[in-house]
């Protein structure tokens, strides 16, 4: 459009650029849809399909086997143990997702200042650290003969422990190692929630003579319930995934399958035993559980939110 001045100026004549306007959004969305379709939803469907086929990765699939893979899965004791362990992990990590980070966040929140900022930066560090490096370091420290851990417990008169090799301690170790990162991350989220609180509600309570404990219990805690529920739920659902790297590096699911969980099982079935069918069946079960949990979550939220 030219910038002439004078009466000949007018609206641009001719067809406006409406030709590709219907196509345009899809152009912008195509990378997203491609990424999701090819690398997430496609594989998801593929997994569903694999669960009902007889196929190891090396030779072409030999045919439809229906629920055979699932049957085989349910017959193996390993599977049920892994499932149970998954629950154990979920429960064990729960306090480290909720109570511990909450306390830390409250402590930091009580005394804002330079010290607090420094502590917060340090406390958040586990999220940055390469998980393999951390795991390797722990492996070193937990060495039953010479490791630092046994040296230290030795000071208290406790005999050396085979941390990673003893079924009774292995799970605890995995939980402890994973707990650091979980606590660090959730502490940050609680900090955010706390900084979003209206300080005036606390001042009002103070004016009414409430003690520090009463304020925490009746004013602060109720406002954090939402965050806690969210983090708790995420923890229960994702605990098994969070421990994955540590299990792989430190215990490989052992000893005696004590540190195994359903996610690790899928991995070993698929990539160590090449039982793709069974692995996929396990994956499908996990997906189903997620789907049910997701729908349940949706229903709960709908019924709770006043409209």
Partner 1 sequence: MTITASTTRAGSADLRLDSLTKSYGGTVALDAIDLHIPAGSLTVVVGPSGCGKSTILRVLSGLEAATSGDVYFDDVAVTTHAAGDRDVAMVFQDYALYPHMSVEQNISFRMRLQARHDRRSGPSRDKIARQVQDVAGLLGLDALLKRKPAQLSGGQRQRVALARAIVHRPQVLLLDEPLSALDAQLRAAARAELLRLHREIESTMVLVTHDQHEALSMATHLVVMDNGRVAQSGTAEELFRRPGSEFVAAFVGSPAMNFTARPHGRIGWRATDARILGDADTPGPGLLVEGVVDVIEFTGDSRHVLCRADGSTFTIVQRDGESVPRSGDVVRAEIPQHQLHHFDENGNRTND
Partner 2 sequence: MSRANHPMRRFGPVLWHTTLTLVAVAMVFPVLWALLTSFKPANDIYSVTPFSAEPTLDNYVRVLADWPVLTLLGNTFVMAAGVAVGQILIAVLGAYALVHFSQRARGPILVLVTISLAIPPQALIIPQFLMTARLGWLNTDAGLIVPQLGTCALAVLLLVQHVEAMPRSLTNAARLDGARPFEVLWHIVLPALRPAISAVAILVFITTWNEYLWPLLVAPKPEDTTVQIGLTQFQTAEGNDFGGLLAAATLTSIPIVVVYLFASRRITDAFLQSGIK
Query: Interface with partner 2 includes 168 (CB under 8 A)?
Result: no
Pick what 307 binds: partner 1, partner 2, none; C-beta below 5 to 8 Å, kind-dependent.
none
Query: Interface with partner 2 includes 165 (CB under 8 A)?
Result: no
- Cis peptide bond prior to 98, omega within 30° of 0: no
Binding part of the chain for partner 2, among 72-80, 91-99, 161-169, 273-281 by CB under 8 A, reads 273-281
Q: What's the CA gap between 164 and 123, in Å, rounded?
A: 26
Query: Interface with partner 1 includes 23 (CB under 8 A)?
Result: no
Query: Interface with partner 2 includes 263 (CB under 8 A)?
Result: yes
Q: What's the CA gap between 278 and 275, in Å, rounded?
A: 6
Contacts of 245 (CB under 8 A, 6+ apart): 131, 132, 135
Query: Interface with partner 1 includes 22 (CB under 8 A)?
Result: no
Query: Interface with partner 1 includes 10 (CB under 8 A)?
Result: yes
Tell me the C-alpha to C-alpha distance, in Å, between residue 163 and each of 30, 62, 167, 175.
Answer: 50, 44, 8, 12
1: helix, coil or strand? coil
Binding part of the chain for partner 2, among 67-75, 85-93, 167-175, 264-272 by CB under 8 A, reads 264-272
Report which DSSP code applies to 164: T
Question: Of 33, 71, 172, 229, which lies in the binding site for partner 2, with binding defined by CB under 8 A?
Answer: 33
Cα dihedral sign, 277-279-283-285: positive
Pick what 10 binds: partner 1, partner 2, none; C-beta below 5 to 8 Å, kind-dependent.
partner 1
The angle formed by the CA atoms of residues 130, 272 and 147, to the nearest 5 degrees, is 45
Tell me the C-alpha to C-alpha distance, in Å, between residue 183 and each of 125, 256, 279.
Answer: 11, 28, 31
Min CB(9)–partner 1 separation in Å: 5
Report the Cα 102 to chain-centroid distance in Å. Answer: 18
Min CB(198)–partner 2 separation in Å: 11
Q: What's the CA gap between 179 and 254, in Å, rounded?
A: 19
Min CB(20)–partner 1 separation in Å: 12
Min CB(146)–partner 2 separation in Å: 4
Query: Interface with partner 2 includes 249 (CB under 8 A)?
Result: yes
Query: Interface with partner 2 includes 283 (CB under 8 A)?
Result: yes
Binding part of the chain for partner 1, among 3-11, 169-177, 241-249, 296-304 by CB under 8 A, reads 3-11
Pick what 3 binds: partner 2, partner 1, none; C-beta below 5 to 8 Å, kind-dependent.
partner 1
Please, is 127 exposed, middle or buried when counting C-beta atoms within 10 Å of its C-beta (0-12, 13-18, 19+)? middle
Min CB(138)–partner 2 separation in Å: 6
**# chain residues binding partner 1, by CB under 8 A:** 14
34: helix, coil or strand? helix
Question: Toward partner 1, which CB reaches closer, 5 or 303?
Answer: 5
Query: Interface with partner 2 includes 9 (CB under 8 A)?
Result: no
Query: Interface with partner 1 includes 32 (CB under 8 A)?
Result: no
β-sheet bridge partners, residue 64: 53
Question: Of 11, 23, 77, 145, which lies in the binding site for partner 1, with binding defined by CB under 8 A?
Answer: 11
């Amino acid at each position: 459009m030219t910038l002439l001045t004078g009466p000949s100026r007018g609206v641009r004549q001719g067809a406006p650029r409406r030709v590709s306007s219907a196509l345009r959004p899809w152009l912008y969305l195509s990378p997203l849809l491609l990424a999701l379709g090819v690398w997430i939803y496609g594989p998801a469907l593929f997994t569903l399909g694999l669960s009902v086929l007889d196929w190891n990765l090396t030779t072409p699939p030999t045919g439809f086997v229906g629920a055979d893979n699932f049957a085989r899965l349910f017959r193996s004791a390993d599977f049920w143990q892994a499932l149970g362990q998954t629950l154990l992990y979920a429960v064990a990590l729960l306090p480290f997702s909720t109570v511990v980070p909450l306390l830390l966040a409250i402590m930091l929140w009580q005394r804002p200042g330079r010290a607090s900022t420094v502590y917060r930066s340090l406390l958040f560090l586990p999220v940055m650290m390469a998980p393999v490096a951390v795991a390797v370091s722990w492996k070193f420290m937990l060495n039953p003969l010479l490791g630092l851990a046994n040296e230290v417990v030795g000071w208290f008169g406790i005999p050396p422990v085979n941390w990673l090799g003893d079924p009774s301690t292995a799970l605890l170790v995995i939980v402890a190692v994973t707990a650091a990162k979980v606590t660090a991350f959730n502490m940050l989220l609680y900090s955010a929630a706390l900084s979003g609180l209206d300080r005036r509600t606390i001042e009002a309570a103070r004016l009414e003579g409430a003690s520090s404990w009463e304020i925490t219990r009746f004013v602060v805690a109720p406002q954090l319930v939402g965050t806690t529920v969210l983090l708790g739920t995420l923890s229960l659902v994702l605990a098994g995934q969070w421990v994955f790297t540590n299990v792989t590096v430190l215990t490989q699911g052992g000893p005696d399958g004590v540190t195994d969980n359903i996610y690790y099982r899928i991995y070993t079935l698929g990539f160590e035993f090449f039982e793709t069918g069974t692995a996929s069946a396990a994956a499908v079960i996990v997906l189903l559980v997620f789907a049910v949990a997701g729908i349940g979550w949706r229903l709960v939220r709908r019924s709770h939110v006043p409209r």
